[in-house]
Amino acid sequence: MAATHRVSAVIFDLDGTLLDTERATRDVLKEFLGAYGKVPDAAKEEKRLGQMHRESTTGIIADYGLPFTVEEYSEAIYPLYIKRWQRSSPLPGVNRLLKHLHKNGVPLALASNSIRRNIDHKILKLGELKDCFSVVLGGDQVPHGKPCPDIFLEAAKRLGVNPSSCLVIEDSLVGVQAAKASGAKVVAVPSLQSQRHCYSIADLILYSLLDFHPELWGLPPFEDRIQCALSMEPLLSNAQIGDVVLNNTHTIRAVFATGEYTYDSIPDQISGIFFGWAKSETYGVFKAVVSIGWDLSPGKFERVMHICFLDSHYKTKTEDRLELLLIGYIRKLQSLENISQAMSITDEDQAIARDALDLPAFSEYAKARRALDIPASSEYAEPRNGLLLA
């Protein structure tokens, strides 16, 4: 791919861009407000995404009539956030991208509207990759937070580069606005799919960092695909078989052990063709390809998932329960205007997945696959959202 613009440094947002902290903390406010007989207003909370700490806190106190100052509220809710941050993890494609850029000597910065104290807690979930950043800035370290450009201008200054030579990767609209105001190029990876239409000012919009191509920005390209397949950190989900789509392909719905339909085990930023294993309560473990997308057509807003079983002798029926372990990525969806067409799993997708699951490069996930066969009572595994992890 030819470079559309050459950059010399990359600046990342943190929450919803690198770490899945926003999903991990989704119920914190509900839990906190419940003690005061209040219920979160989803529309108001959606608008607070990416705001500065003080701005967000001031709004929450006012909107729900809480008996706190900003400082008192922050201290009261802080322990709940620390506990939930421990559940967060890097989003798909993050580890791969950070390792690649750092290995190739690309200067990296982290610029978040979170206060620095919170950043220092959350960034620990990146493990050793936290040391890839030569600059880390919080919203309390600049005069004005996003959507003002201050934090990106300061990050570029500390990196020793011109802001116009920087690429910013952001998930929030206020972050994209701030980055554009700084003069940087911007890749948006929206964490709220319902707002994708609002990100037109970004230079590029992706569903996840699995689809990021460094060479578009004059950066060294990835060279880690194996026979058209990309290894990734495992995604796990409980699911239930839905209607037949075509031959051995069915719709599926992720589901918690309680029976409530949900997609909380799969990040909202996930879209494309994936592969791995599916365990049926009746028939055992089978190779599978899964297409994941969003139906954003007028009057609709919902995630759509299809599964194709690669074992032709596999017989299933509607309402069968599955445990999914997705460990590889093939490609992004095509023709997103037509979700039914976009979700199609081709013969080539199936061939790539079938071959990849037998490659030694994917053997590191053999233990995770075996976990699907370990009883819940085993001392070697523990349930998580109804799934078993080795």
**What DSSP line would sit under 244-298, residue for residue?**
EEETTEEEEEEB-TTS-B--TTS-TT--EEEEEEEEETTTEEEEEEEEEEEE-ST
**Pairwise CA distance, residues 111 & 281, whole Å:** 45
Name 325's bridge partners. Answer: 236, 277
In whole angstroms, how far apart are CA 85 and each of 15, 78, 118, 143, 384?
10, 11, 10, 26, 16
Q: By C-alpha distance, which of 256, 323, 259 is closest to 288?
A: 323
Q: By C-alpha distance, which of 161, 155, 163, 168 is closest to 217?
A: 168
Catalytic positions, written as ranges:
13, 15
* Four-point Cα dihedral 366, 257, 285, 377, nearest 10: 60
Q: Is the bond preceding 214 in cis, omega lying within 30 degrees of 0?
A: no
The strand pair at 230-246 and 249-254 is best described as antiparallel
Give the three-state DSSP class for 302.
Answer: strand
Q: Position 131: which residue type?
A: D
Tokens 């990296």 found at = 108
Long-range contact set of residues 259-265: C-beta below 8 Å, sequence gap at least 24? 263/237, 263/303, 264/23, 264/385, 265/235, 265/236, 265/237, 265/238, 265/385, 265/387
**Pairwise CA distance, residues 377 & 132, whole Å:** 39
Specify whether the CB–CB gap between 219 and 7 falls below 8 A.
yes
**Pairwise CA distance, residues 283 & 298, whole Å:** 39
